[in-house]
Structures are given as structure tokens and as C-alpha cells.
Structure 1
């Protein structure tokens, strides 16, 4: 394309500054949101992976057990194998810090063995601690903190840090640092024997890191060593262990990225609207170029170049916004956007070339895709006919293809029945895209039908508006395409989030039947309630009954993250939020019962009535699957067994939590204070069911903060689309408005005509978008959510909110249409009518 032609086409973007700017902004927002999510999670995953590699050190294989650990006699047996060059035992403790309401990962290591396997965990003794002797690192109270942990805790060398073991706060002396851990990992290191003694884990370890002898095949060694391990203990490669853990956040990351891409798609609709209007407004200009010898292909290339420039500029602007958003996210919500997957990590923002280039290209693709149909429309025109005034109306003559919408709906339905690929509901997202396409394609037909229902009114402005939309339904497509996409996305997300929140609230109510809940610490941390503590609580005045709960993890599959084991009184399943059918044991001698979560049923292909082998206390125990229950807390799966069965199998009578029922007339606050007086205030937490529900729902809302932001962006883009569309339509219809002025309509009446057209267009677009949004919400709840997180939910429509939203959007669209047409109504009626070539 010559320089002159490039100037002709690209100068058009400068002439329509508002429309170009809004299109740029829409694409920039989509690019910024998508890239920001990618940058945030990418940095968090990189730091997480670096931490996993740091902890693995130079290990070729790692032996993992349950959270409670396994017998350290396994270490001696594994270390003696011919394939093993070095073996280093590790005890990992998630230690709660009394009074701080946070926890610290502490690794108990064998200082002599660790130097050969993971030297990055080797501590450096401070000068003051070194004076206590050459074995200062082995002192029972010596703790070494990484630089990130020191910064987060605000603690200096030589100071004391209290950690919780059971319900006791035990002081540790900060004896030095773990310099190789870097600035992104918050952790502590101490001698393994001291850690076993301090946290009541005598004879227990969490894992063994292995270096193999030179020339040993790693896979063969893994299979050989696995045969020596007790049930529930697995040997994995460091890469497999990292992949298992990082896969937990995959669904969350993918869902946010897809939402951002849908926002970018909505920006593409806005480019389509502005480009089609530009083609209508410049129809005579483009026809003149064709008459001078410009061929169809060159015309298409020029118009596509306009879209590409808009996409490229918007993409580059989006890159800048993305890095700003990512920086704010790291400072205020963390590397997991509030979802809680990467606690204890401090990822650093850095420039990432590949995703930045990829999202710029996506912005260009959105711009070119938005310009494609308008370019084809311009190429189809007859130059001689288009040189005459009034031919621009041809642009808005819709060519409905009635078969496309049913075809899109049929494809979307079929895609919903396909399984996920690699755990990602790709076909579910494709179904969403087809539903959006079907809704937009249905607009011309639906506009004509809806305008027919308005026939019969005698108001002139309503008659003109209805006649205009009925005769040129393509105008509604131009103005309402962005509205349909943004409304559909916003409504779908509103229904999904409302359904999810309502289901979580009901789930919390069903699993929190007691009057008070006592927790020594979260399930994964170092606090627990010993049997004597449980008896002490049960004997306090005002307490009618207690029910202990114990947590652990079980490794069922080398390819999957461990599932959570919950031991509690279940009352034959009556105390669980069961879904679907249940079965009971045929005889008293049958295998004990277990109740699995929906996620576990999906991930491990287990159903009610199956026999499930659970590795407990180093041996496999057969359980009869009696039911499936709803669990919104653990997407990797959970299994519940009766507390009595657990205690009989393990001999473990400790508890993590206590559910407390009060005697008649007992005051919760009085009983809670009595418990604090008996056990101490810093090492326990007491909450009512209402408090737990409020905190849980607050966390839920914080987790979906980014989703709410994306909804707002989608709505904003939709309103931009209405504004720019009616601005362009008003300019393209200046001759029509001039004729109406000659026939007696005032500027104010023409403004009201545009207002009515804007309201009608937005009403149809909003109605179509809400129907499409309801269908997309079903896909989100029943397909995407189920395939991503493996839990079900009850559909709940926020009717009041949706009605208010629809009404507000129609009013705002009408106002936008009125304001956008202001410039066109200021011109002279005589000049407008005389405009011609």
C-alpha cells in the first residue's frame, strides 16, 4: 500500500477521535486485565516453583508422606539402598505464631545430611549465637529465618519468637539466617531432632530427599524404592511434586484469564461497531477511491490496517496498564489475587516479554477481527451507486441468516457434554463463545419482531424510532452488539457468583450446627488439643457436649495432590451436607463407612457403594463409600470417616477443633471466656457459627473482587459501544435529520428521537444479553465450574439486582445516545440536505 493510501486510511482514525479513543480504551482494558492476571500468577508460580526447587535442592527423588508424617525408620531403610548416594530427612511444620494470627513454615533438617542434598537450606549462625559454641545450630531453641521471614515478622537476630505446639506457646531464639532462601520465601529452619521434640513429632518425619548414585536410572530407582514404602508414602520426582501443588491454582488462573479474554472480545465488538459506522459515514469517500481505481483487495487491506492500528495501540496501552495493575495487586491482595493459594510468598514484578507480546498480538487480532466485516461490507458496495447521497443506509440493511443462531446454540449444547482437556474446561469456554455469537446473530430478527409489538402507538417520535429500527435492524446490531456481550457476561457472572455465595452460605449453615467452635489452629498448622485439654473443656460449666475433629492428609495417587482426611462424629452421614443417594453397611461386620467430597468422587472416579482403600497408619484399610457430600473448602478432595474408627486405627486422640454445644441457659460469651481462662487466649480461637460465616463470606467476596472488576469493565465497554455507535449514527444520518428539521421537527425533538432509539436498542440488547447471560450462567455453573473445581451449587437468580441493572443500563444508554447525537443536531438543516457529491 502506498504512503498516500496509508495516509488516507489512517487519517480517518484521527478525524474520529472519540470513537477511536474509546475503541483503544476498550481493547486496552481487555489486554490489561488478561495480562495482569498472567503476570501476577506467573510471578507467583515462578516464585512458588523456585521455592519448591530450593526445598528439593539437589535431590533426584523425594519421599513424601501424609501431613502428620511417617515413621522415621523408613529413612534408615531407604538410605541403605544401593541406588541412594545421599538421603536427607526433613520434618515440615506449619507453625502457628501465637498472638500474630499467622503461621510460619519451619523445616527441621539434619544439618549434616542437608549439606549434601539441599545446601540452600543450610543456616548461617549469627556472630552472637556462634559464641555459644561450635554446635550452636543444633541448639534445641535455635531457629534460623529466611530474609523474607525476618522482614515479614519484623524480628531481629537474638530476639525470641513464640511458636505454638499443641496449646502451648514455646519461645525460640533467632540464631541466624537462611541466606540462600532469598527474598521471596518466608520460612524457618532448625535442627530436626529439636523440631521433633518441640512439636511432639518424636520418631516422625515429613519427607526424605534423595540423591542417586551416578549412572542410576531415576525412573527405575523410583519404582524400586516405592516397593519398600508403607501405604500412604510415595516417592516422587521434584518436578512431579511441584506440578501437583501448582495444579491447585490452575482452575482459578484459567477462569480469570478467560474472563479477561471475554472482556477483550467485547472490545472487539466495539471496534466492529465503530468501523462499521465509519464505513457508513465514509461510503462516498470510499466509493470515490474505488472509482479512481482502488481495487477491492486494497480497500479491504486499508480498512483492516485501521483496525490493526487501533488494536496495536490499545494493546501497547494495555501493557502499561497491566504492569501497573499487577504492581498494585502485589501490594494489596498478593500473588494469588486473594484466593489463598500462595500464602507465604513474596513474588516480585518483572517484565515478561512473551506474554506481553502475546497480549499485544491479541489486541491486534481483536482490532482486525472487529474491522473484518465492515471491510467486507465496504468491498461489496457498487461505487457508482454509493456516490449518490443516501446510499449509506445500505450499511444498516441487515442480511439475517436465520440458520446461524440455532446452529450456534446446537454447537454450544454439544460442547457442554465434552470432558475437559488437561483439567481445563476448554469446550465449556467454547460453548460460551458460541452462545455469545448466537445472541449477536439473533439481534436483527429479534429487533424486527420486537418493533412489531410496538406498532399502534400514535406518538410521532415513537413511530419514527420504531420504523427506523424495523427498516434498518443492522443499526441495532451496530449499537447493541457490545451491549449484548457485556450484559451477557455481567449477568452470567452475577448469577454464578450469587448462586455460589448462596450455596456456600447454606453449606456453612449445615456444617456448623454447634453453638461454639474452638480451634487450636487451622488444620495444617502446629496447634492441637490433647485428650486432657478436651476433657477439661468438656467439664467446664455451661457445656453440654463436645465433638472433636481431627485433620490429616492421605496420598492416594502419585499423580494427584493429597486429599484431606477428616475424622469426626458423622452420625451415619446425617451431620454432612450430602448430595445424591446414600447407602448403609449390610452387616455390623462390614467395612467401616467413609463419605467422600464431590471433588474426590470426580478426581478419583469413585461412586457411592464402592470400596475405597485408604492408607492410614502405614497400611491400607478398606472403607465402604456411604455417600458423597458437598465441600467448598478443598477442591483437591476430602474424605470423612467416623472419629471412633480413626482413633481405633491410629491411636491418635488429639483434635484440631472442638464443636461445642451449650447447656440450656448458658451464655456463649461467658463460656468462651471460661475456655480462654482454662487454655489461654493466644493459642486458641473461639468463634460462633455466625462469626465463622461472616468471615468466610468476607473471604469469598475478596476472592471474587477481580471478577466484580471484570464485570464492571464489561458493562463500561458496553456503554462505550452505545455512545460511540450513536455518535457515528447521528453523523451518518445528518441528511435524514436535516430533512426532519425541514419537515418541522425541532432540535430537541430530534434529540428525543435519538433518546428513544437508544432506549429501544438498549432494551432489546439488554433483553437478549440477559437471556444469553442466563444460558452462559448455566454453562458456568454446570460445566465450567464443575470441571474446574468439582463442586456443585444451587442456581439462585438475583432478580432484584438484575432488574435494577437492566433498567439502569437502558437509561444510561438512552442518555448516551442523546448526548452523542448533540453534535450532529447543531449543524444547519439546509447544509445537511444540500450535502452531496
Structure 2
């Protein structure tokens, strides 16, 4: 292609015209910037949290080649020497992990991970972990060696969190007992960033009642050993419930716990980018309307249609580049602030690191930068085609703007997109990501935009004529130029649909969670000695004392454990509790029966169906007490507390199989007339260590659970707000440009007797009708997308079902507010065009 001076001048004229409207350009740039910033910010937070998580796991494993793991209850330590003597095993380091709450901290405080290690063996795998101990002992005679019976070392993060230093005493809970340990030193800051305490394995076994048990074993293989054959030989020696994996597999298994949350948060962050692309589409479309005469002259002067399309798409891409660069900078700032104030899980409580360092994320920055540019270029592509498709002779005539974007009226294409949206729901998910469901959402939005003009033509042409002259003019304008409705309403439709869908999903989830809590918390009070993953519990004597406390009518005892069913997945929760004859009275059953079949009955959560394929009537093997026990799945229950799966069994069956008579918690029904405060005081006084009991009402548990829920979904509320603001800004910019393009029309109407106030009312009516259609269709699409989020995405991602329970009243209020805002924006945006000189406007038409 030959670029002479004339052609270059024509191209400069195309590119220069857009920048004369910096306000509208700024709006599109900010929309793209918001999408890029939110997407990159969430990606950086996810990457930083996972990097910190992986660093911690690899630090503890050191140079191990294989890791043997079990649930927190562990396995017989006699397995350790058998594996250590296998040919090809160079180093075998046993360990015992204990989660324990620091004594005196509130019930909601996170636990401290205490890691008991064989000092001599693990030093061969991770010598840096013990460097601080040697240095501290050499410099401070008051500290003690790690082999002493009451000595512990803290990571720097744990020491800062607990405000402890060498020589201080750390009190940890083991059920209702307090275990005092002497802080002998601080681990090197670069070695471990998690809140962690390290002690000799014998100390941990003795002080926490775990003599003879370990729950981890790290192996380093000899040079030249056949890793695959050795792994198979080790697996053959392991009892049920114990697995062997490489460090990489262990990291992936642990990261799977938060995978669904991270992926879906990233998908939600794309909402702003989608609405930003629609706003670029509107901005470029309106530029085509405003500059149609200019483009016609340029085409007549020798600029080719292909060059015009390329220049306009490049112009959109340039807007995207500016927005992407701004968004990248804001994304890093957003991620840094989120990590500082909310942590690596954005408040969801999934990561325990005290400080998560922000990762550079170069690949993510490049990806989201390119996505921003691509979104803007895609938004500019259709308007560019429209600008190049009009013959110059027609484009130079007045009134031609009514025929612009006629190709947007594509009802058949919209229906095809909706059919594809329905078909995409049948596509299988991949790695826990509901790929088909997300494609369905995209097709729904595209189909809605394509249907918008056809609906405008049909609906507004059928409006009754009793609304007065201005209403008839407004309806005729929108029915005669339905492409304008698509241009002005695309951003609003997308914003309303996505905001409505998110509101339906969050509201349905919250309602279902509240109902589930009401069903699962029937007692008057709950007494807990240790959480499911914490050390200790209440022995039989404590249970008897609890039952004999004045004010207690009856109690239901619960024991929590963790078991390993699959080496590639995180542990599954095992819950043993007193159950009524019909377990459905205590559980929210969604399949099967509450009646117990013959043999050993189990009731499993929905995650067990999705992840392990366990279904009612199926005979399964359950690893208990080092052996596989045959059981039958009696039913499936809804569980919002344990995403990786939970198994419920009768407490009597559990005790008969394991000999474990301890419990973690109990639900109490009070005697008539008894008060919770007085009964709680009696319990604390009657039971040894009763001051360490957590005694709470079901209302307090419910309130805390819902508060955690609201904090977790606070990010989605922010994303909804961004989408709405972008949509409203888009309708204001759209009507401003449309009003400017119709200056001649308004001049004629002024000569026919309409006042400036009438012109403003006309624009307000057009804004009212256009906004009502876009918002109405957005609500319908939002309801459909909300159903997809509730019924498909949540089930595939988080493995639980929920009731579809939208709160229609707030949604109706939201819709009315959006329509009112769109009407006001249209009237305000059209003031300049309505105030133009009528004579000059008509004169310009000739």
C-alpha cells in the first residue's frame, strides 16, 4: 500500500476527529481500565497467595522426593522404620502436625500449626530450618536445645502475631488442657513465612496425647533410585487412609481447596471488562453517527473502505491500550491494598500466612493488558464496518443517521445465540471450572444485545397513541431507528444483567445458608473443646459431667476427624454424632433416605457425589483405625461448611470401630426455665478446664457464619457497583452523542413549534423508553444467568446445591432506579443539543 502525503493527511483526519471529544474518550478508557485493574488485581492476589502457600509447603518438605500423609489423627509410627529401611530410601523424616489454638485467644482466632520433627533426620532435608536454633543457643545461654521436653521454635510470622520472643512461654490448647512450651528461638525469616511452631516430635507426641502416632513422613531417595517402582512399593505398604505423593502433587492437592473460589473470583472480575467492551462499542458507534459526513467526505476523497475500518479499529485498540496501561498500574495498587487489608484470600479465611508478598505477575499483566486492548478493538470493529459500509452519497444527506446500525437488528442471530447458550450448559466442566456455563453466559449477553433492536422496533411501534405528541415522537424515533437503542442500551443491558445475576446468586446462597444453619443448629447451646482440625477434645468423664450439669436436659455429642480417600485430593471430613432414627431430622437431605440400612450406614455430602461418585445404596470402603471398613451410603445431605466433602456416621458405630470415645463438641438442650448464661457458668465451674470451653448460642453461630459470608462476597458487591456505574455512564454518553447527531432534527422540531423544554422532555421520554427496554431485557437475562450461577456454576465449582431464591423486591427497586437514572442522564446529556440555534441547525441541513 502506497502512503502518499494526501492519504496520510486523510488518515490523520480520521484519527484526529475522535480526540476532539475527550470526555467520551475518557469514559471508554476508564471502563477498560476498571476491567483490567480488577482482573489483574484478583489474578495477582491469587498468584501471590498460592506462591506463599507453595513456598511454605516446600520449605517444610525441604529436599524430599516423596511425602507420605494421613489425616491429622495419623498412623502408627511403626511404619516409619519399615519404610526407612527400603532400598533406595536415603533419608526418612517423620513428623506430627498439630493445629492448636493459643490459650486465651477468642474462639474465632485461627489456630497455630505446631510441627513436631525428628531434628536429626529433618535437618538433612531442610538444614536452614534449624539454623536459627544453633545461632540462638550459641548467643543466648537462657535458651534451651530443641530436644528439651518443653521447647518450641516460632517462625517470625508467628512470633509477630503472638508478640512473643525467645524466653517467653507459649500456651497452647489441647482440648480443655493448656500445654506450656518455652520459646527457645525464632526461625530464620526467609525460611518460613507462615505462622508456625516447630518442636521435637517426641515433645509433640507426649504433650498432645499422640504417643506412637505420626501423620507425615518425608522421604529423600538415593541417587539413581527408580522413583516410580519405589513409590509403588511404598504404596503397597501403606494402611488405608494414608497416601504417598510428590511435593508437586501435594502442593496441587492443597491448592485445590481454594481453586474454585479463586477461579470464580477471576471470572467475576471479568464483568467490568465485558461492560467496558460494550462501552467502547457504544463510544465508537456514536462517533460514527457524529462523524458520518466526515467519513463520507474522506471516502469520496480517496480513502478506501478497508483503510477506514483498519483506522477505526486501531483507534479503538489505542483506547484499549491507554485504558490497559492505566488499569495495569491500578491493578498492582489494588492487589497490594487487598493483600494488606484483606489477605491472600480477600477475606474468605482460606490462607493462614500473616503476610503475603505481592508477586510480579508479568505474564498476568501481559495477558490482561492484551485482553484490554482486544476488548476495545472488538468493541470498535462493528462500528468501523458500519462506517465503511454506507455509500458516501447517502451518508452526506440529512436523516441518514436513522439508517445507521440497521445490521444490529438481527433477531435470528440473537435467537441462535440463546440456543447456543442453552446447548453450552451441557458441556462438561474442566478442572472444577464450569466452562460450558461461562460460555452460556457470554452467549446470553450477545444474544440479548442482538435482540434489543428487534424488540425496540416491535414494541415501540405498538405503543398506544394516547400518550401525547411527545410520546408518539419518542416511540416513532426508537421504532424507526432501533439500532440507536442497541448502541445506547448495550452497556446498560450488560451491566443490569450481570448485576442482577450476581444479586440473585448471592441472595439465593445467603438464603439457603440461613435455612441450612437453622436446620443444622436445633440445640439451645453448643459447647466445644476443639474445632474439627484442632488437637484434643472432651473425654468420657467430661461428657458425663456435662450431662449432669444443672440446667442441661439432654446433649448430642459430635466427634470430628479427617480421613484420606484419594492421594490427589485434600482430606475428607468424617463426622460422628448422635443421630435420630430418621437422620433427615438432623440433616438437610437432598437424596436417599434418613432411615439407616442394614450394616454400617453413612450419609455423605453432595461433594462426595461429585468428587468420589458415592451415591445412595452404594457400598463403599471407609479407612478407619488403619483398616478398610465396608459401609453403605444411605443418603446425601447438603453441607455448606466443607467444600472437599464430608461423611456423617452414627457416633456409636464410630466408637465401636475405633475405640475413640472423645468428642470435639456437643449440642445442649436446656431444661425448662434454665438460662444459657447460668448453665454456661455451671458448666465452667463443674468441668475441669471449663474456662477453656467455647459455649455459644445457635444465634451467635448463625450471625458469625453470615458475617463471614458477607465478608467473603464483599468483592462481588464491588464488582456489581463497577458494572452499574459503567452502564449508567454509557447511557449518558450515548444520549449526549445521539442528541448532538440529531441537532438538525431538533432544529426542525423547534420551527414546528416545540420549545427547548419540549426537546428536553422528548429526550427524557426516549431515555425512559430505551432504558426501560434495556433494563427489562437485562433483568430477564440476569434471571437466566442467575439460575446458571446457582444451579450449574456453584454446583460444579463448589459441589453444593442451593435453592433458587431471588429477592424480587430489591431487584424491582434496582430496575426502577436504573430506568430513572437513564431517563435523567438522557435529558441532562441532551441539553446542549436542545439549546442550539434552531435557524442555524436547519440551515446546516441544506
SS in structure 2 at match of 1:227: helix
- Aligned counterpart, 1:581: 592
Structure 1 residue ranges without an equivalent (≥5): none
**How far 1:277 sits from its partner (Å)?**
0.7
1:483 aligns to 2:492 (yes or no): yes
**CA separation of 1:17 and 1:183: change in aligned 2, threshold 3 A:** farther
1:507-562 deviation line (CA, Å, top 9, x unaligned):
11111111100111321112421222222111110001111111111111122221
Segment drifting more, 448-457 vs 353-362: 448-457
**How far 1:182 sits from its partner (Å)?**
4.1
**CA separation of 1:324 and 1:533: change in aligned 2, threshold 3 A:** same
**Which among 155, 173, 188 is matched to residue 164 of structure 1?**
173
For 1:652 and 1:340, locate their aligned partners in 2 and report how far apart those are by CA, in whole Å.
Answer: 30
SS in structure 1 at match of 2:17: helix
- Aligned counterpart, 2:313: 304
2:386/2:405 contact within 8 Å kept: no
SS in structure 2 at match of 1:795: coil
1:89/1:205 contact within 8 Å kept: yes
**Which among 627, 634, 644 is matched to residue 626 of structure 1?**
634
- Aligned counterpart, 1:177: 186
For 2:725 and 2:735, locate their aligned partners in 1 and report how far apart those are by CA, in whole Å.
Answer: 16
**Which among 19, 25, 32 is matched to residue 14 of structure 1?**
19
Segment drifting more, 441-450 vs 593-602: 441-450
1:121/1:189 contact within 8 Å kept: no
2:408/2:486 contact within 8 Å kept: no
For 1:628 and 1:732, locate their aligned partners in 2 and report how far apart those are by CA, in whole Å.
Answer: 62
- Aligned counterpart, 1:653: 661
**Which among 337, 340, 347 is matched to residue 331 of structure 1?**
340
- Aligned counterpart, 1:737: 746
**How far 1:790 sits from its partner (Å)?**
0.9
**How far 1:11 sits from its partner (Å)?**
2.1
1:292 aligns to 2:294 (yes or no): no
**How far 1:207 sits from its partner (Å)?**
0.5
**How far 1:347 sits from its partner (Å)?**
1.1
SS in structure 1 at match of 2:466: coil
- Aligned counterpart, 1:255: 264
How does the TM-score come out when normalised to structure 1?
A: 0.97
For 1:132 and 1:624, locate their aligned partners in 2 and report how far apart those are by CA, in whole Å.
Answer: 60
**How far 1:399 sits from its partner (Å)?**
5.2
2:603/2:648 contact within 8 Å kept: yes
- Aligned counterpart, 2:476: 467
2:112/2:195 contact within 8 Å kept: yes
Cα root mean square deviation, aligned: 1.7
SS in structure 1 at match of 2:92: strand
SS in structure 2 at match of 1:287: helix
1:183/1:346 contact within 8 Å kept: no
1:657-806 pair list within 5 angstroms = 657-679=665-687, 680=689, 683-806=692-815
For 2:739 and 2:714, locate their aligned partners in 1 and report how far apart those are by CA, in whole Å.
Answer: 38
For 1:379 and 1:174, locate their aligned partners in 2 and report how far apart those are by CA, in whole Å.
Answer: 76
**CA separation of 1:681 and 1:833: change in aligned 2, threshold 3 A:** farther
1:116-515 pair list within 5 angstroms = 116-122=124-130, 124-125=132-133, 127=136, 136-179=145-188, 181-182=190-191, 184-397=193-406, 400-515=409-524
Segment drifting more, 134-143 vs 699-708: 134-143
- Aligned counterpart, 1:605: 613
1:516/1:688 contact within 8 Å kept: yes
How does the TM-score come out when normalised to structure 2?
A: 0.96
**How far 1:651 sits from its partner (Å)?**
0.9
**CA separation of 1:681 and 1:757: change in aligned 2, threshold 3 A:** farther
For 1:584 and 1:673, locate their aligned partners in 2 and report how far apart those are by CA, in whole Å.
Answer: 38
For 1:181 and 1:659, locate their aligned partners in 2 and report how far apart those are by CA, in whole Å.
Answer: 44
1:82 aligns to 2:90 (yes or no): no
1:735-782 deviation line (CA, Å, top 9, x unaligned):
111111111111111111111111111100011000001111111111
**How far 1:595 sits from its partner (Å)?**
0.5
**CA separation of 1:668 and 1:121: change in aligned 2, threshold 3 A:** same
For 2:431 and 2:33, locate their aligned partners in 1 and report how far apart those are by CA, in whole Å.
Answer: 30
Query: How many residue pairs were aligned?
Result: 834
Segment drifting more, 477-486 vs 99-108: 99-108
